[in-house]
Amino acid sequence: IKEEPMEQPIADTVSFGSSSASSKRTLFVPIAPMLSRGRGRPPLPLPLPQRHTKPATQITNLQRRQQVKLLQEQEPFRMVPCQQPNCRAEFQTIKISQHFQQYHKDQWLTYVKKCEDNNCDFRSDQAQDIQRHMLMVHNSKYVQWKETFGCLRFKLPKDTKCPFCDKEVILMNLSHFVSHMDAYHKRLCAYEVPLLKCAAHNCTFQAARCFELFTHWLESSGCSVGLKFDYEIARKVKNADLTAQKNEMLQQKIASKSKT
Ligand SMILES: [Zn+2]
Ligand SMILES: [Zn+2]
Ligand SMILES: [Zn+2]
Ligand SMILES: [Zn+2]
C-alpha cells in the first residue's frame, strides 16, 4: 500500500526543546500562511511579525522577502489569504508581489528585488526574471555606455527637479532618481505610467521604467541623449495616488471598526 504523504506543515514549523515525543512542540513561525480553504474558518493571516518569541522584534524586509521566496519555491500555486486588515483577497503565493503592487502599494518594494545596476529600476520577485533581464538589457553595449566618459544616457538635464517632491529637489542623474524613488516615493514606484521621455529630438518614445528606455536605446542608436520627465503625467499619478491612499486608509478604518 502506498501511503499518501501527510499534509506536512511546510517550513513554518520548528521543533523546540528536546526531541522526545512528549516535549516535542511545534510553533508557528512567521514563514508560511496556513491553508484557509475550510468553510467557516476565518482565514489565518499570512506571515507577519508575530507575538511569540521576541514580541518587539519585527522581521526585516529582507527576511520577509526570503520567507516569501521560500514559500513560492515550495508551493507556488498554493492559495493564501492576504494579511492586510482591509483586504479579503486570496491569491497564489506566486502572485503575492502582483497583489501588493496593485492593492498595497506602500509595501510592494518589500516583495520585489531590484536589478543591481544603479541606473536601473527593473524589479521582480523571481530571480530568473532578473537574470534574464540582466542578460538582455545590461549587455556589452550597455556596459560600453557606462564606461564612456560624457555619455549622456544616464544624465539628466541640468537642474532637473524630482517630478514628485513638493519641495524642489534637484536630481543629479539617473541613479540619483532611482535611489531617490526607492527612498522617498515607495508607493509611486508601484505605478506603471509613462513618466519617462526619451530626450532625443523627434523621438516620441515614453516609458514607465528606466530599463524600458535602455531597451529602446539599444534598438535606436540615434537616441543617445538621455531622458526627461513628463511632469504632467507625474502630477496626475501623484494626485491619483493621494486619492487611492485616502481610500485605503478609510477601508482600513472600517475594517478595524467592524472587528471590535
Ligand atoms: Zn491584500
Ligand atoms: Zn537592470
Ligand atoms: Zn522626490
Ligand atoms: Zn528615442
Question: Looking at the structure, do residues 60 and 131 belong to the same domain, yes or no?
Answer: no
Question: Looking at the structure, do residues 186 and 234 belong to the same domain, yes or no?
Answer: yes
Question: Looking at the structure, do residues 120 and 234 belong to the same domain, yes or no?
Answer: yes
Q: Which domain holds residue 27?
A: 13-99
pLDDT at 95 (0 to 100):
92
How far does the centroid of ligand 2 lie from the alpha carbon of residue 227, in Å?
16
How far does the centroid of ligand 4 lie from the alpha carbon of residue 235, in Å?
23
On whether residue 204 sits in a domain, the answer given is yes
Task: With a cut of 50, list the residues of the chain below it in pLDDT.
Answer: 3-45, 48-56
* Percent of the chain surpassing pLDDT 70: 77
How far does the centroid of ligand 3 lie from the alpha carbon of residue 65, in Å?
25
Nearest ligand, CA 118:
2
Question: Looking at the structure, do residues 86 and 130 belong to the same domain, yes or no?
Answer: no
How far does the centroid of ligand 2 lie from the alpha carbon of residue 116, in Å?
6
Distance CA 233, CA 186 (A): 17
On whether residue 4 sits in a domain, the answer given is no
pLDDT at 202 (0 to 100):
92
pLDDT at 251 (0 to 100):
80
Question: Looking at the structure, do residues 80 and 171 belong to the same domain, yes or no?
Answer: no
Question: Looking at the structure, do residues 131 and 81 belong to the same domain, yes or no?
Answer: no
Question: Looking at the structure, do residues 94 and 116 belong to the same domain, yes or no?
Answer: no
On whether residue 120 sits in a domain, the answer given is yes
How far does the centroid of ligand 2 lie from the alpha carbon of residue 60, in Å?
24
> Within 10 Å of residue 150's Cβ, how many Cβ atoms?
5
**So what's the ipTM on this one?**
0.96
- Sort strands 113-114 and 123-124 into parallel, antiparallel or unpaired: antiparallel
Nearest ligand, CA 229:
3
Nearest ligand, CA 164:
3
pLDDT at 259 (0 to 100):
62
pLDDT at 249 (0 to 100):
84
Question: Looking at the structure, do residues 175 and 230 belong to the same domain, yes or no?
Answer: yes
Number of separate domains in the chain: 2
Question: Looking at the structure, do residues 78 and 134 belong to the same domain, yes or no?
Answer: no
pLDDT at 75 (0 to 100):
87
* Coil/strand/helix, residue 134: helix
Question: Looking at the structure, do residues 133 and 80 belong to the same domain, yes or no?
Answer: no
Question: Looking at the structure, do residues 89 and 193 belong to the same domain, yes or no?
Answer: no
Kindly calculate the radius of gyration of the chain based on its CA atoms and give it in whole angstroms. Answer: 23
pLDDT at 65 (0 to 100):
78
Distance CA 3, CA 68 (A): 30
Residue indicated by cell numbers 532637473 = 160
How far does the centroid of ligand 2 lie from the alpha carbon of residue 8, in Å?
38
Beta strand segments in the chain, E:
13-16, 25-28, 79-81, 90-92, 113-114, 123-124, 155-161, 170-173, 196-198, 206-207, 227-229
